[in-house]
Amino acid sequence: MVADETALGLIQLGAVFFGLGLLGRLAARIGLSPIPLYLIGGLVFGTGGLVELHHVDQFIHLASEIGVVLLLLLLGLEYTADELVTSMRRSWTAGVVDLLANATPGVVIALLLGWGLTGAVAMAGVTVISSSGIVAKILNDFGRLGNRETPAILSILVFEDLAMAAYLPLLTAVLAGVGFLTGATSVAIALIAVSVVLVIALRYGRYVSMLIDSHDREIFLLTLLGSALLVAGMATVLQVSAAVGAFLLGIAISGTTAESARTMLEPLRDLFAALFFVLFGLSTDPKSIPPVLGWACVLVVVTVVTKVGTGWWAAARAGASRYGRLRAGTSLVAHGEFSIVIAGLAVSAGAVPAEFAAMAGTYVLLMAVLGPIAARFAEPVVRRLDRLRAPAT
């Protein structure tokens, strides 16, 4: 019987991976981020029609935890401590505007739907954080790295990512329903940890990297992954959220070590993160989507406006033209992996109603698809409108 279980588990897991592979191929063909398709894939699997996943349940749960750790670890590896500090100093006003403008719609809608404080805090995170992955891909694919507005866009992303390090422990505390004092303590621990890691990374980043670096690929991978999971686990014990621990470790690793860690971990992250997105889809009941669809669309319209407004304002401060401001604004629309990370935390804690998962999933689905489209077509459309209007005046 045990052999049967194993065989079934392997077949199910193989079917999931293979299915995701096909979806990923489809996404690449139509030039889309694969995240929305993974979510849909999860929804389809979850209805029980195609594949019943009882035999790999536990594996997928653990794998998706690892996926979140890797997502945040690689996010930390993207940045050097130096970049974070200079970027923060230069653009904290734009960052604060971004947080306020884009958290408010999430909070308001959560309160309107009666999800209470917990739902409001979680929804705020979902609507604030743009997907640095999708945005970086947009900037690259459309050849906008040299443009005047680009540093302003990237600064906002850095601010959001760093703000997440303070936000996640807060969310964890709220979700756990702990008292004000315990919550405040874990946020304080997180803030202190962020500052300590930044100082260590700025002064002694070399040594952290030396500790992990190795010329042997196998040893390097084991040390890196081992330390990431250890740090993530310990952070969870301190109620600081595993993701934050991984993010901080990523920041502390610098230079060539960070570069080789990135190339080595990227495929692993894609694999485990894909399972995480599937799990989120699985735990969302498709029947709960239609009732919230209207509100999700309202939220999409409102946050597209606030995100474009934020980018517009930030790019204007950098002295960009109207079209540059429009490009900056539309670039920020894309939401993705980190919105799902936040929503996933809330859902797995069981502290939010079922409609929350449906709402967050639908919202991210729409924003992940809409983002690249808006970034691509808003400027040509406005240019054409301007040209039509010009002869008249």
Partner 1 sequence: MDVEVTPLPGIGVRKDFPLGGSGRRVGVVDRKDGTVDLILSRPGNPDECEQVAMTVTEAATLAGLLGAPQLVGQLVAEQRDLEGVNTRQLSLRTGSPYAGRPLGDTRMRTRTTASIVAVVRGGQTIPSPGPDFPMAAGDQLIVVGTGAGLDAAAAILVDG
| Chain residues in the site for partner 1 (CB under 8 A) | 78-79, 83-84, 86-87, 132, 136, 139, 143-151, 154-155, 157-158, 259, 320-321, 323-324
CB nearer to partner 1: give 55 or 90.
90
End-to-end CA distance of the chain: 81
How near is the Cβ of 308 to partner 1 at its closest, in Å? 17
In terms of CB distance, is 87 or 339 closer to partner 1? Answer: 87
Where does residue 177 fall: left (phi above 0), alpha (psi -120 to 50 degrees), or beta otherwise?
left
- Shortest Å, Cβ 178 to partner 1: 34
Nearer to partner 1, 255 or 291 (CB): 255
The angle at the Cα of 212, spanning 209 to 218, to the nearest 5 degrees, equals: 135
- Smaller CB separation from partner 1, 57 or 78: 78
Closest to partner 1 by CB, 92 or 295: 92
Cβ proximity to partner 1: between 75 and 341 the closer is: 75
112 or 145: CB nearest partner 1: 145
φ/ψ of residue 173, rounded to 5: -65, -45
Rounded to a whole number of angstroms, the minimum distance from the CB of residue 67 to partner 1 is 20
Residue 153 CB, nearest distance to partner 1 (Å)? 10
Burial category of 290 from C-beta neighbours within 10 Å (exposed 0-12, middle 13-18, buried 19 and up): exposed
Q: Which is nearer to partner 1, 295 or 323 (CB)?
A: 323
CB of 160 to partner 1, least distance (A): 12
Which of 144, 160, 194 is closest to 88 using CA atoms? 160
Nearer of residues 194 and 347 to partner 1, judged by Cβ: 194
CB of 255 to partner 1, least distance (A): 10
CB of 209 to partner 1, least distance (A): 14
Q: Which tokens go with 138?
A: 């947009």
**What beta strand segments (E) does 57-185 contain?**
none
For the record, the structure tokens of 53 come out as 């996943």
Written as six digits, the tokens of 88 are: 């923060």
Complete DSSP assignment for 338-393: HHHHHHHHHHHHT-S-HHHHHHHHHHHHHHHHHHHHHHHHHHHHHHHHHHHHHHH-
Spatial distance between the Cα atoms of 390 and 321, rounded to a whole number of angstroms = 17
Nearer to partner 1, 151 or 286 (CB): 151
SS3 47: coil
Minimal distance, residue 185 CB to partner 1, in Å: 31
Look up residue 393 and give its DSSP letter: -
Question: Please, are residues 295 and 245 in contact by the beta-carbon 8 Å criterion?
Answer: no
Nearest CA to 271 out of 74, 129, 125 is that of 74
Least distance (Å) between residue 179 CB and partner 1: 37
* Full DSSP string of 261-289: HHHHHHHHHHHHHHHHHHHHHHTS-GGGH
Smallest distance from the beta carbon of 207 to partner 1, in angstroms? 21
Which is nearer to partner 1, 147 or 284 (by Cβ)? 147
Plot region of 58 (φ>0 → left; ψ -120 to 50 → alpha; else → beta) = alpha
Q: CB-hemisphere CA count at 13 Å for 385?
A: 7
Q: How far is the CB of 311 from partner 1 (least distance, A)?
A: 14
Taking the CB of residue 22, how many other CB atoms lie within 10 A of it? 12
Please tell me the distance from the alpha carbon of residue 198 to that of residue 200, in angstroms, as a whole number: 6
The rounded distance, in Å, linking the Cα atoms of 286 and 281 is 9
